């Protein structure tokens, strides 16, 4: 991931922040459309879960300028997701839902360049989480 991609991710995420509740709702609606079986993983209120999602995304987006400091937290997050019942194959669906949400939420600001940047970032984070959680198994 290069500096320009980081800048694009941070700029576009800043546009998502004002619509965070809507974005979270879009994300979970799409996630469950893509795979209804994932509903069983969410035992708490989805509004609260959505707020946690947006907070974590903000943490990651703001940390992209210092990946060395961010990676241990992402590894820990990956390990915790195993305890929630998340399997490595579920990350594909999550990624599809995230990118769809960004497309819907950002509208014309979701350019090909923005899509590529977000895809790159998600792939890196997914791989770090899966590597930590599943003993070097890359999803």
Count of domains forming the chain = 1
Please report the pLDDT score of residue 100 as a whole number.
Answer: 98
Both structure tokens of 47 = 């509004």
Please report the pLDDT score of residue 138 as a whole number.
Answer: 45
CATH assignment of the domain containing 85:
1.10.490.10
Q: Burial level of 118, CB count in 10 A (0-12/13-18/19+)?
A: buried
Please report the pLDDT score of residue 137 as a whole number.
Answer: 46
- Tell whether 139 is covered by a domain: no
Please report the pLDDT score of residue 44 as a whole number.
Answer: 79
Query: What is the pTM assigned to this prediction?
Result: 0.90
Rounded CA separation 50/80 (Å): 17
End-to-end CA distance of the chain: 19
Please report the pLDDT score of residue 22 as a whole number.
Answer: 97
Q: Which domain holds residue 27?
A: 3-133
Kindly report the length of the chain: 139
- Tell whether 138 is covered by a domain: no
* Alpha-carbon 78 to chain mean position: 12
64-71 long-range contacts (CB < 8 A, ≥24 apart) are 64/1, 64/6, 64/9, 64/10, 64/121, 65/6, 67/1, 71/128
How would you write the pLDDT of the chain (139 residues) with one tens digit per residue? 899 999 999 999 999 999 999 999 999 999 999 999 999 998 878 999 999 999 999 999 999 999 899 999 999 999 999 888 898 899 999 999 999 999 999 999 999 999 999 999 999 999 999 998 886 444 4
């Amino acid at each position: 991931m290069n500096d320009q991609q980081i800048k694009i991710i941070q700029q576009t995420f800043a546009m998502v922040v004002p619509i965070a509740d809507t974005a979270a709702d879009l994300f979970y609606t799409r996630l469950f459309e893509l795979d209804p079986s994932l509903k069983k993983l969410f035992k708490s209120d989805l509004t609260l879960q959505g707020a946690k999602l947006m907070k974590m995304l903000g943490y990651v987006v703001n940390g992209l300028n210092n990946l060395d400091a961010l990676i241990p937290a992402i590894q820990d997050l990956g390990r915790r997701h195993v305890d929630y019942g998340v399997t490595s194959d579920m990350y594909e669906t999550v990624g599809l839902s995230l990118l769809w949400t960004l497309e819907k939420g950002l509208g014309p600001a979701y350019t090909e360049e923005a899509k590529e940047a977000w895809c790159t970032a998600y792939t890196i984070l997914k791989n770090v989480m899966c590597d930590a959680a599943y003993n070097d198994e890359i999803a």
